[in-house]
Structure 1
Amino acid sequence: MIGRTKSDKHLSLRFWFLAAFIVFVFLIGGASRADSIYLLVLRPVAILVCGAAIIALPKGALGSYKTLAWLGGAIIALPLLQLIPLPPGLAHLLPGHGLIADIDKAAGIDAWRCITMVPSATRNALFSLSVPLAAFLLGISIPREEQQRILPIVLILGLVSALIGLLQAVGTSSSPLYFHELSNDGSAIGLFVNRNHHAYFLAGLFVMIGTLAAVYARTPQAQSLFGWIALVVAIAMIPFILITGSRSGLAVALVGILAGGAAYRLGTRSIRVAVKKRSGMKSYLAYVGAAVAACVLVMLSIMFSRAMSIERLAAPGQLDDLRFSLWMPTLEAARSYFPFGSGMGSFVEVYQIQEAHDMLGLSYINHAHNDWLEMLMTGGLLGGAVLAVIVVAWAMVSAKVWLGRGANSTDDIYARLGSTVLLLFAIGSFSDYPLRTPSIMVLAVMAALWMNVPFRLPAKSPLGSEK
């Protein structure tokens, strides 16, 4: 619903609390490393927010979010189950735990052991969930209209991150604009540590721009205005993707651009039907002009050696990328520890057990760079089952809002946005680990809330009430 309502004029205190929390997380939560100094502040604050949100949770707030609550509970239960101590000797019988059994026998240790191979890493994985849990509890405590009002705040954060990335690209690797240690210094990483995570976030902005334009296109005149604004802003965003130097980010951005255009077209289709057909030549010329402008920006970025994504993509030896060589060992480890998994967050230590001799060096492998495989390795059968349920739930809602002919309410428009944002992160997870970053986790929670469409309610027109 776009028309001004009481909730539009007076946003609740809970809304501003959620907005402040999201801004706080994005400012300091751009790193996924367990030793990030910012986590000393972020996680205690998130735990306090969880407690306050539970105490102040409105009665019946969970009623419309039972599916999300069950899925969130399953995600939290996974590391908890892996941390349950088992009697002496029982853990030694678990698949893949032979090394621990040999060490205990040699050292004469008769201790209780957990399912996880690395309890400290699994505890860290458990505590990392406090941040998205806080966002979820705050999110379900406000009306759906206020959840949707979070979008401009996220969009502004994205533009700020893009601008910081630009300043990083034209500056030096020692610039104070690199806020985290052990980051991709010298690259345009914005508020993040990892160039890929920044690129995935920027890719989501294309869909956010298209969604916001569709929501505010209430009349034929407004459709033209906001359509052009969205197009100009989207084209201007392209160089920011290119300078990140992220190859996978470039691919994800292409999906985001197409999805952003589709979201705008579907969101305004009822308006276009009501408007008489105008000169088709003008529309075609507009599209051609936009395409030419985008190509010019790409060419200028390449000419000024700022299109690092394309340069890295065109560099020789792409098939020899290290991350591809990690996938088979990760699959082998997943088989070795099946069905219980090696323990959430245990990839580093477990991979080192079976790391090939020719891979040894002064650096270490921090992740499988394919979070789908890493989840199977560390989460085992239960982790794979949770992933499968999430994918099925996502697919069912996505089919409803993208393919349903009558699905064009404001809720449906935002549901398409949430569906696409999660899809972009899912694609990025095939070559990286974006959903381990606190700020990305919070955005994923908001996307899931946007997707939670109340199908049983009468559809609301994005044009407001019609007579």
Structure 2
Amino acid sequence: MPTQKNHSGVARLLHVHRTLGWPLVALLVIAVVLGGGGIRHGLTNLVVQLTALAVILFQPGMVRRFFSEAPLWLKVLVPLTILLPLLQLVPLPAGMWRGLPGREMAAETRDLIGAGDGWFPVTLDRARTLIALFALAAPLAVIFSAHGLKADWRRSALVLLVALAFLHFAFGVVQFAAGGDTLRLYETNDAGRFYGFFVGHIASGLFLVIGLCALIGLFASKRRTSLDLMLYPAGAALLVIGVVLSSSRSAIALLLLPGLWAAWLGWKELRRFSPRTRWLTLGGVITLLGAAALVMATNERLGATWERFESFEDSRPDIWEDTMVGIERYWPVGSGMGTFDEVFQVEESLETLPAKKAARAHNEYFEITLEAGIFGILLVVAWVAGLLYSAYRGLRTVQAPVTLAAALSLLCIALQALIYFPLRNMAVLCIAGLLVALLTAPVTIKRDRVIE
């Protein structure tokens, strides 16, 4: 019996492997380790995408199972999402293409080289839109693979998410300890921030928040032992430290969501004890939190993070204003998926030109609207509506803690998308695919009451 307990961690990881299958596990590991670099790192993105295509091609039956078992709304939205960039690549006759909004400058350029009468697609940059189309292979492979699983795989998926978050945290700690350029995966990283496997500190912090949501979901979905009451809070504390070290103000603010859930679960645990034990425990927790706050306030490295909250002035509002000009120019068709960086430079005002190239709208919704017009907006609304329905349905089942963990994680992504572009790197895109699969997996067992 003792031997079994000593190897419980290894046994759990082996169970995850058996439940999820090696193709899905391998894809997610490769996506997190190599897919955090964004569009500037095409080779590592290509590795993730080729892995995803291999997963789909060597398991053709899983696509068939997806379309037989997935909810109707998901079976409709997945093809429509693929169809959007695909249709933007279809060549149109010269007269029709010239009639599209915002094509005047491109038409004049093509007239100068004698190509004005040629057929051109809706997108203003075919290569970028083709890349955007291929990028969908990775999250779709995750969704297809998960929906093809027969066993109850939800808790195993949360275990995998937590394991990946701690792997990311451990790699980031080693980066911190090594210092300088040692072990940095991407050249754009700045010293003094927690990056791990990501090119940006904001995405790094977001991934740790998602890992924290998954950890709390695991805690809430099992019978807790005395050891759990020590190990889970300790693990959560490490992830919180990683979020703070990332210096991402949005990720730190998002800690409020899993924090409220954790506080509610903690209060439920305290209610099991006598009033004296309850108040002593509560006093101890408050003391520990106070000590942690004191350390964070006096630590020089952590102090740099808190200083970022003293001012919220940056170039984002100016970028958003210029993006709105671009949206009006290309409305309602859009400029083509993935083309923001190409078309935005025309709209960027010289008065508010930032020191660095904007490259992104720093608002996922604005960027989608500029690139896909009204069709992109309708797709986003449809996805949100479908996921809200699936979350509501899942919260009424015995898998409610897992559903809540996935829903909170997707909410964190959706909120950070207001000021960032979380879905523009392969790692978060694949994790989002897993979260969608968690919310939309078939459920049959109803709860007698709503989750507490």
Give the structure-2-normalised TM-score. 0.88
Q: How does 1:256-275 map to 2 (within 5 A)?
A: 256-262=258-264, 264=265
SS at match of 1:38: helix
Which residue is equivalent to 2:252? 250
Runs of at least 4 residues of structure 1 off by over 4 A? 8-14, 55-61, 359-362
SS at match of 1:188: coil
- Give the number of equivalent residue pairs: 434
SS at match of 2:58: helix
Amino acid at match of 1:387: V
**Residue deviations 1:380-408 (CA, integer Å, cap 9, x gap):** 10100011111222223334455xxxx35
Which residue is equivalent to 2:242? 240
Which residue is equivalent to 2:8? none
Distance 1:284 1:431, change over 3 A: farther
SS at match of 2:255: helix
Is the CA contact 2:101–2:329 (under 8 Å) kept in the aligned structure 1? yes
Q: How far did residue 291 of structure 1 move? A: 3.5
Which residue is equivalent to 2:365? 372
Distance 1:301 1:36, change over 3 A: farther
Distance 2:353 2:417 in 1: 25
- Does 2:286 match 1:303? no
Distance 1:60 1:304 in 2: 50
2:89 to 74, 83, 96: 83
Distance 1:188 1:454 in 2: 37
Distance 2:381 2:207 in 1: 24
2:288 to 293, 307, 314: 293
Amino acid at match of 2:366: L
- Does 2:418 match 1:425? no
Which residue is equivalent to 1:442? 430
Is the CA contact 2:65–2:148 (under 8 Å) kept in the aligned structure 1? no
108-117 or 52-61: bigger deviation: 52-61
Is the CA contact 1:168–1:187 (under 8 Å) kept in the aligned structure 2? no
SS at match of 1:326: helix
Is the CA contact 1:206–1:257 (under 8 Å) kept in the aligned structure 2? no
**Residue deviations 1:35-83 (CA, integer Å, cap 9, x gap):** 4331232222222222123255565763234432322222211111111
159-168 or 193-202: bigger deviation: 159-168
- Does 2:252 match 1:207? no
Is the CA contact 2:139–2:434 (under 8 Å) kept in the aligned structure 1? no
Q: How does 1:39-188 map to 2 (within 5 A)?
A: 39-55=45-61, 59=65, 62-109=68-115, 110-143=117-150, 145-175=152-182, 177-188=183-194
Is the CA contact 1:65–1:140 (under 8 Å) kept in the aligned structure 2? no
Distance 1:460 1:256 in 2: 23
Q: How far did residue 284 of structure 1 move? A: 3.5
Is the CA contact 1:92–1:101 (under 8 Å) kept in the aligned structure 2? yes
Distance 1:453 1:13 in 2: 14
Distance 1:448 1:338, change over 3 A: same
Is the CA contact 1:165–1:244 (under 8 Å) kept in the aligned structure 2? no
- Does 2:192 match 1:197? no
Q: How far did residue 132 of structure 1 move? A: 0.8
RMSD (Å), alpha carbons: 2.7
Distance 1:140 1:96 in 2: 41
Amino acid at match of 2:364: D
1:280 to 275, 283, 303: 275
Distance 1:57 1:76, change over 3 A: closer
**Residue deviations 1:84-140 (CA, integer Å, cap 9, x gap):** 111113211111111112222233212111111221111111111111111122111
Q: Which runs of 5+ in 2 are unaligned?
A: 1-13
Q: How does 1:224-235 map to 2 (within 5 A)?
A: 224-235=226-237
Amino acid at match of 2:245: I
Which residue is equivalent to 1:334? 327
Distance 2:16 2:248 in 1: 41
**Residue deviations 1:249-283 (CA, integer Å, cap 9, x gap):** 11112223224445x479xx7xx7xx995323422
Distance 1:374 1:295, change over 3 A: farther
Q: How far did residue 350 of structure 1 move? A: 0.7
Is the CA contact 1:202–1:253 (under 8 Å) kept in the aligned structure 2? no
Which residue is equivalent to 2:385? 392
Distance 2:408 2:88 in 1: 32
Is the CA contact 1:418–1:449 (under 8 Å) kept in the aligned structure 2? no
Identical positions, percent: 23
Is the CA contact 2:206–2:251 (under 8 Å) kept in the aligned structure 1? yes
Distance 1:157 1:164 in 2: 11
Amino acid at match of 1:369: H
Is the CA contact 2:244–2:305 (under 8 Å) kept in the aligned structure 1? yes
Distance 1:293 1:73 in 2: 51
